[in-house]
Structure 1
Amino acid sequence: MNCVALLLCCNWAILLSSTVQGYENLALKKKAWQSNLDDFYYNGSDLVYLGAHLAVDGRKENLALNGRQCARSSTGQTAEWRVDLQRIFSIQSIFIQYMTDNRVWGLGNVYYSSFLGFSVYISNTTNKEDGVLCFRDTKYSGVTIPNPVNITCPHHGRYVIYYNNRTHKPYPDGYSAFVWTALCEVEVYGCSTPGYYGENCSIPCPQNCRQRRCHITEGTCLGYRCATGYRGIMCNDECPSGFYGHDCKESCSTHCIVSGTCDRVTGQCIGGCKAGWKESKCDTMCSDGTFGKNCTEQCGECLGKETCDHVNGTCVLGCNTGYQGTTCTEGGQS
């Protein structure tokens, strides 16, 4: 190995050791899948298939096709590989060791051209488009593309997806005309215990983060998603008076008995509703024929069976024959 290559490897080793410290490889021995057929080689007596699982077997000492430590699919216009972490984890970084055939990495290596242009996603489904794009190569060349590569991507997800394609000509200089997976190891580092963050995953996420999910290094609630009734990057600010719900975006009803005052979580009016309104949020007018506090009063004999005012029971058009008063409840006796 020449001095430049050795220096590059050492620099990457330093970067990796500092990046993954305190985090667990969540992908080790997990179920993996790759598009296209598994590639294979003939060992003199048998066909040896290079299945997707070889990229999460924990081995990356032999980076050759026949080393039995690397996954590789058959060639195509697209190549996709993914690992199922089996549940949603808090992820910090993703390490990828691409196949080298145990040769010095760079322009003289046959594999660099099929690595160029790759992208990595974290998703809660097997569809990469449902997830977040962690990285897409748009600037590397055969001289500059590193191998291995470490991608910092602090997100929550169940699937980590590697993708590459050659579907839109012309391709940039150095790109192969086809792609395959050729992944010797993919390591996904993060916290194995939900609800924690920090270098050693030892600090509890703020209790008001929604689903107790927070940024793996900073502890901020992801996407500022707070439990109902709270807001702020750490979700420790209660909704101000007059507001409630997710991110405190809902306004308390003006029909609460104390206008605009309600429970910050549910929106339920504290003390009940003003006359003419009902339900816990006081957002529903009394049904026809009823009025007053809690809508428990019955309308009187309004003219033509018209309904009364939902607040005070007044018959706007007057009373049926034989009745009188603003609510048409007086009279009616023979």
Structure 2
Amino acid sequence: MLQVCFILTTLITAYGYVNLALNKPTWQSQQHNPGYSTFDSSNAVDGLMTDLSALGGQCSISADEYKTATWWVNLTSIRSIHDIRIYYRTGNVAWGCIKTGYYGKNCSISCSRNCKHSYCQANTGACLQCKSGFHGHQCELQCEGGRYGQDCKETCGACLGYKQCHHINGSCLEGCDAGYEGQLCKTSCSARKFGFDCQKNCNEHCKVPYKCNKGTGECEDGCQPGWEGPRCEQDHYTTDIMNMTTVTNTKEVDGWMEALEKGNDCMVRFYGILAAFCVSLTVIIVLAVYICIKRRRKQRQDRKCFKDNFKPDTGRMGLNNISAKITEDNKTYEELGQRTLPSEYEIIQKLS
């Protein structure tokens, strides 16, 4: 008696395994109690394995008293098969590793923590199914290549710089690219908004006010009369003034260059004479300042010399001695004390 549940698996786009035999056409040579769906060959590929008893209706059971039995499944196309898994009827009695989450000899090796519900194959440790965000034989790999979620089937949104989103929940870790918003960056900017995280406003001067490209902000239908530019931000009047100024400045520069090329001797001579005059004037001013400083310094020295020689506190005797010296120089012999003495002003005048 053949009593099995049968699974064929293949690797799909490197993200997870699928059951190729699931609900495909089946046939068996001798069915136990023909006509009863409880024992039908299709039970082997229905994907159910919660009740592996004889009457559970989830296993294909062949007739008694036959040494051989034949069963097959038609995959309906040529496929690449990763492995073949056969689950026997157990009568719901534990077999293999009794303790969930372990595999190998003596069931001493822990299944991968990324195996969903900690279920793995008793001999190889291959996960029967991966947790969301993982793939691989033992679910050791995170989703990548712009995928996330259960069996890596979900597609990431417009994450900034087209970077990988979170492998489990799909959130964009560094924000959205231009034109998108939301945690998953799958929502286009709302009306009148554009740019990164939809932070900028479309221009009111677009032909259809505030209607622009969600990524670049360019007005999609052109500009209103009097405005121009990709975003309709420049009015014609300002543009014309800028163009005129540019042309005028260009002509002035060209004129100066032409004059220099022709050798304007008068202008060269004028600037040469002006430069020589400025240099001469500077030299004269420096010399004048120098002479004034020298004179003032000489006057200060003379005043200091006079103060050192003339001391007002010498008293009356000092004046009499000066008077006697003056009288001697004039060869005038008069009796001291009877000649009228010169004033202090006259004395100072003679000494100076």
TM bracket, shorter-chain basis: 0.3 to 0.5
Q: Which has the larger radius of gyration?
A: 2
The TM-score, its normalising length taken from structure 1, stands at 0.42
Q: TM-score, normalised by structure 2?
A: 0.41
Q: Specify which structure has the higher proportion of strand.
A: 1
